[in-house]
Amino acid sequence: MLCDAHTHIETQAQVSSYARQNIFCVASGGTPDECADLLALRGAYGGMSVSFGLHPWYADRYSLEQMEPYLCKASIIGEIGLDSVWCQVDPGRQREIFLRQLDFAQQRRLPVILHTKGCEQECAALLSRYTMPKVIHWYSCEHHLEHFLEQDCYFTIGPSVRQDPNVLAVAERAPLRRLLVETDGLSGIRWALGRDLTTRHLGAVLRSSIEAIAALRGLTPAEVEKLVFDNYSSLFTRGLPQSPAANHGV
Ligand SMILES: [Zn+2]
């Protein structure tokens, strides 16, 4: 059973595609509008979980009070974090929003999905104060991986695992019981692979990452698929249905 531990979903057609391919997924809402859209879409597919958190790119456009109704509905918080590469948002504002959301998750013992782009060292230092389950999303920094390994973090391996030696290093070094795979949605796949794939290819993209991990770790793809599923199940869900398509009509 395939699991996409971090994705972005915008349409009913994308939800249906996950359902048709029997792929469990965690879809992330990074703004109040995205969260509202995901709540409307979620009911259609029992295998879809949601994670909510004000994304660092939007930390200056929304208040945390605007996000709060959605945070209160979430059983997974994220993606949250810091970014000094892909956005111009004031670092102090990013840090304030990040820390308040970490406090929220810690109080409720909720897992967090983390965006660390360009701020890996600072994120590791801030995270070391917290004990909730931490999921490092598509880590691709050449440095500082050991600080996240020390904290027993989970890692979602991104679709660039075959192209990016830094992603490969994560797939090689993360404990097997902490490995997950992700697509980051269609835009993430496009960015990583430079090809305009459609939702029909979601399963193939995840399988390709699983095969790359299997080759690195001396396991079969079936063994890696099973351990990734077990990690996903124990981390994100309580009482998954037998099949993600079993309890709905998509
Ligand atoms: Zn993402």
pLDDT at 198: 87
pLDDT at 43: 81
Distance 238 CA to ligand 1 centre (A): 23
Distance 6 CA to ligand 1 centre (A): 6
Is 184 a known ligand-binding residue?
yes
Long-range contacts at 222-229 (CB < 8 A, ≥ 24 apart): 224/179, 225/1, 225/2, 227/176, 227/177, 227/179, 228/3, 228/179, 228/180, 228/181, 229/1, 229/2, 229/3, 229/24
pLDDT at 191: 86
Q: Is the peptide bond before 122 cis (omega within 30 degrees of 0)?
A: no
Distance 51 CA to ligand 1 centre (A): 11
**Secondary structure percentages of the chain, helix, strand, coil, to 5:** 50, 15, 35
Distance CA 81, CA 75 (A): 17
Distance 7 CA to ligand 1 centre (A): 6
Distance 218 CA to ligand 1 centre (A): 29
Distance 116 CA to ligand 1 centre (A): 11
Mean pLDDT of each 10-residue bin along the chain, 250 residues long: 96 95 97 96 91 97 97 96 96 98 97 97 98 97 97 97 96 98 92 86 96 98 98 78 43
Distance CA 128, CA 116 (A): 14
Distance 226 CA to ligand 1 centre (A): 24
Is 6 a known ligand-binding residue?
yes
The set of residues, in sequence order, having a beta carbon less than 8 Å from that of 154 and lying 6+ positions away, is 5, 111, 133, 134, 135, 136, 178, 179, 180, 231, 235
Distance 8 CA to ligand 1 centre (A): 6
Is 137 a known ligand-binding residue?
yes
Distance 68 CA to ligand 1 centre (A): 20
Is 248 a known ligand-binding residue?
no
CATH numeric code, 3-236: 3.20.20.140
- Is 170:147 a contact under the CB 8 Å cutoff? no
215 torsion bin: left (phi>0), alpha (psi -120 to 50), beta (else): alpha
